[in-house]
């Protein structure tokens, strides 16, 4: 009988900091899992490197061109409005707090995540297998669950009717929907249960009541904020998360016993790049950079004379032109190219992606389906200056450097939603700001295509197999195969 799988997502977990914490002796639970299993330091996450996009890829096994969740912030071309799932309260307030909450709580999973691709919860349900989702931002499944919203919210029209959301069979979403009976760690001053303690508490309840289903996925959010503030090598967040892992392991007669019937997977969701301490240098103000053009104000929404919309995802941004005649993408790209803090600028012309850089000269052009094959067995037609994306091609084989799986990740983002837009990705040390954007000067940030943002560790116990490739999008198929009892995948080296 296949082992049950418990997948723990640790926000902003990175291998160098994890290695440091283990070396310092402050992460005994992490150390235990690492010693008892396989460690993969460099799994490639999706792009933009924001939790909602990564979670969508993890659940569906595809990039954003198929799952249709483009980023934390993006412009809905049909509705002519900016979607924001929770970048900063300043931005949410200006956009309309109630609408933003509705997007977060309901539309993200039930409308924006594409219905054309099944999530792992939906596929397991179709096979008669239960699954659990605890505090994961993306959770769509086949079971209806009412959301218990705070009384204050129910005073407003959009939330007066008790809407149901579609989740995994066993479903926790903060204190809005929980599996266990305890309200501890779920109060409003504890972010309504969206914290590590509540996540661990709910998983512990499943273990102690012997209700663990074949597949359980749990999200631990707290470390993101700590890394943002203190930088990528901060280990305090790892030590604090480790305490929750210890509490989970302590549910069993021994830690060894925890491994017997379970396959444990521990993974990050995105890396973070350090941000310089000099505010004037660290922050790329897109409104100032694109000053000749009229940028949509968040509070007013799209007006007739607006030319651009900015959707800032920390170290990545979508820049939309509302008038391709007055503000053509090529001209916008040329403006951005003057700034050497922006290392990737990309847009589509027909089905061909064009890429330039503020750091490196030349233009790279590519599209899917050519004669060149990359390390993930994907075919491409690549022309122009390879150095723009740090590519090398030898005997028709493409290798990646500073931008892992760059062609697929960038192309998927360019085709993730409708609209005329370009993508800008910042070099390490810098992040974008628009109107009301969060900033992380002297700390760390993510969102970009660069390897700092894109490589995450994975620890796996209880199986000798490995995914086909070390990418987030390859995990779903692998997990489903493990739950079917298949173990014929080749185990990869720990490098």
- Cβ atoms within 10 Å of 477's Cβ, excluding its own: 15
Burial of residue 431 (number of CB atoms within 10 Å: 0-12, 13-18, 19+): buried
- pTM strictly above 0.85: yes
Contact 232, 451 (CB under 8 A): no
Question: 164-167 and 273-274: which strand pairing?
Answer: unpaired
- Give CA–CA dist 470/191, Å, rounded: 33
Domain with CATH 3.40.720.10 in the chain: 4-69+113-275+451-483
- End-to-end CA distance of the chain, in Å? 30
pLDDT for 151 equals 66
Task: Give kind and range of the element (H or E) at residue 31.
Answer: helix 28-36
**CATH code of the region 4-69+113-275+451-483:** 3.40.720.10
Q: Give the tokens for residue 46.
A: 């999706």
- Give CA–CA dist 154/148, Å, rounded: 10
Average pLDDT across each block of 10 residues of the chain; the chain has 495 residues. List them in order: 96 98 98 98 98 98 99 97 84 80 91 98 98 97 89 66 88 88 71 87 97 98 95 97 98 97 97 98 98 94 96 98 97 98 98 98 98 98 98 98 99 98 99 94 98 99 97 99 72 38
pLDDT for 491 equals 40
pLDDT for 155 equals 63
Nearest alpha carbon to residue 204 among 101, 126, 134: 134
pLDDT for 160 equals 67
pLDDT for 385 equals 98
Contact 436, 90 (CB under 8 A): yes
- Give CA–CA dist 431/439, Å, rounded: 8
Cis peptide upstream of residue 97 (ω within 30 degrees of 0): no
pLDDT for 493 equals 37
Q: Give the tokens for residue 483.
A: 């739950």
Contact 129, 214 (CB under 8 A): yes
Contact 339, 284 (CB under 8 A): yes
pLDDT for 154 equals 67
């Amino acid at each position: 009988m296949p082992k049950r799988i418990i997948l723990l997502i640790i926000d902003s977990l990175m291998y160098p900091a994890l290695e440091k914490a283990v070396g310092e002796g402050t992460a005994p639970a992490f150390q235990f899992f690492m010693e008892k299993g396989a460690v993969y330091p460099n799994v490639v996450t999706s792009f933009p490197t924001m939790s909602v996009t990564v979670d969508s890829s993890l659940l569906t096994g595809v990039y954003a061109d198929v799952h249709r969740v483009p980023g934390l912030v993006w412009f809905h071309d049909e509705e002519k409005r900016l979607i924001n799932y929770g970048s900063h309260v300043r931005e949410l307030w200006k956009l309309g707090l109630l609408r933003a909450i509705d997007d977060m709580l309901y539309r993200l999973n039930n409308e924006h995540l594409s219905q054309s691709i099944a999530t792992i919860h939906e596929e397991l349900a179709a096979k008669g297998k239960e699954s659990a989702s605890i505090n994961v931002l993306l959770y769509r499944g086949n079971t209806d669950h009412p959301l218990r919203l705070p009384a204050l919210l129910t005073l407003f029209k959009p939330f007066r009717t008790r809407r149901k959301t579609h989740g995994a069979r066993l479903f926790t979403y903060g204190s809005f929907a929980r599996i266990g009976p305890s309200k501890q760690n779920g109060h409003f001053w504890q972010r309504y249960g969206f914290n590590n303690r509540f996540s661990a508490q709910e998983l512990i309840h499943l273990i102690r009541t012997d209700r663990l289903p074949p597949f359980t996925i749990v999200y631990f959010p707290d470390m993101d904020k700590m890394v943002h503030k203190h930088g990528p090598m901060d280990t305090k967040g790892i030590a604090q998360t480790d305490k929750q892992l210890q509490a989970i392991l302590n549910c069993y007669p021994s830690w060894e016993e925890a491994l017997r019937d379970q396959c444990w997977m521990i993974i990050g969701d995105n890396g973070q790049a350090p941000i310089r301490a000099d505010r004037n240098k660290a922050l790329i103000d897109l409104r100032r950079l694109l000053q000749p053009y009229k940028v949509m104000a968040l509070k007013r929404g799209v007006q007739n004379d607006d030319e651009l919309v900015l959707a800032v995802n920390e170290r990545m941004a979508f820049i939309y032109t509302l008038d391709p005649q007055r503000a053509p993408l090529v001209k916008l790209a040329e403006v951005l190219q003057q700034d050497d803090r922006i290392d990737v600028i990309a847009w589509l012309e027909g089905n061909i992606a064009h890429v330039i850089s503020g750091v490196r000269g030349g233009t790279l052009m590519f599209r899917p389906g050519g004669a060149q094959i990359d390390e993930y067995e994907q075919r491409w037609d690549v022309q122009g200056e390879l150095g723009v994306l740090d590519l090398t091609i030898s005997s028709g084989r493409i290798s990646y450097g500073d931008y892992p799986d760059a062609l697929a990740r960038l192309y998927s983002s360019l085709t993730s939603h409708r609209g005329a837009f370009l993508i800008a990705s910042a070099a390490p040390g810098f992040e974008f700001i628009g109107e009301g954007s969060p900033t992380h000067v002297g700390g760390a940030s993510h969102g970009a295509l660069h390897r700092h943002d894109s490589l995450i560790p994975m620890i796996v116990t209880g199986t000798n197999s490995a995914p086909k490739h070390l990418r987030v999008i390859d995990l779903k198929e692998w997990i489903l195969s493990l739950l079917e009892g298949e173990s014929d995948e080749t185990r990869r080296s720990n490098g």
